[in-house]
Amino acid sequence: MTKKQSQITRIKVGVSSCLLGNSVRYDGEHSYDACINESMSDLFELVVFCPEVAIGLGIPRPPINLVSVNGVLRVRGVVDTSHDVTDELIDYAKQITGQLNELNGYIFKSRSPSCGTANVNVYDGDTKQVVNTSAGLFAKIIMQNFSQLPIADEIMLQDKKLRMEFINNVKNYAQIKNKKLTS
């Protein structure tokens, strides 16, 4: 491995655990993505997170979704709507701030009420109708707290141009962060 390659390897990028083939989804399955496993893991040190498992939801587990309650975004059970895990997800994101600080990018699983970066359905708490779309709550917190962090999902990374852009953005982000640390 060249010096340049070994430097790149140390760049940490967060990734939704299910994308690496870990069977952590609510249905006990995974969402293995070949592009991430083959190209991204060669370039970066991938740091896995599954917020739903981390807050103690089992595998498998009843599905959750995004709900609007008086205009406020909550995360609740689809069947058992009294099962509200909003505060747990917020607390978890706070607990791992130190780990998130070390990241130079994050690859999220699309369409998840926890990890989706956009366009996740938000349901009305009473009527169960779709009233809006949003990022999943965990992804939303990270994007708010680390607004400059390069973000992608597995769908975006299928596009070669967007993939290259993400890779460059991660490298630039890491470089800028290192400069700040050493200056």
Q: Which is nearer to ligand SF4, 7 or 41 (CB)?
A: 41
Q: Which of 64, 112, 153, 170 forms a contact with ligand SF4 (CB under 6 A)?
A: 112
Distance of CA 132 to the CA centre of its chain: 20
Task: Please give the C-alpha separations between residue 144 and each of 3, 93, 98, 117, 137, in angstroms, as whole numbers.
Answer: 34, 11, 16, 11, 10
Considering only the stretches 90-98, 107-115, 152-160, 174-182, report the one whose residues sit in contact with ligand SF4 under the rule CB under 6 A: 107-115
Task: Please give the C-alpha separations between residue 84 and each of 25, 38, 81, 99, 100, in angstroms, as whole numbers.
Answer: 18, 36, 7, 25, 24
Number of residues that bind ligand SF4 (CB under 6 A): 12
**How is residue 65 written in tokens?**
């979704």
Is 114 a binder of ligand SF4 (CB under 6 A)?
yes
Is 171 a binder of ligand SF4 (CB under 6 A)?
no
Round the CA-based radius of gyration of the chain to a whole number and report it.
17
Of 170, 181, 180, the C-alpha closest to 13 is 170
Please report how close the Cβ of residue 13 comes to ligand SF4 at its closest, in angstroms.
Answer: 14
What mask of x and - would describe binding to ligand SF4 in positions 15 to 54, judged by CB under 6 A? -xxx-----xx------------------------xxx--
Is 110 a binder of ligand SF4 (CB under 6 A)?
no
What CA–CA distance (Å, rounded) separates 98 from 77? 29
Contacting residues toward ligand SF4, per CB under 6 A: 16-18, 24-25, 50-52, 109, 112, 114-115
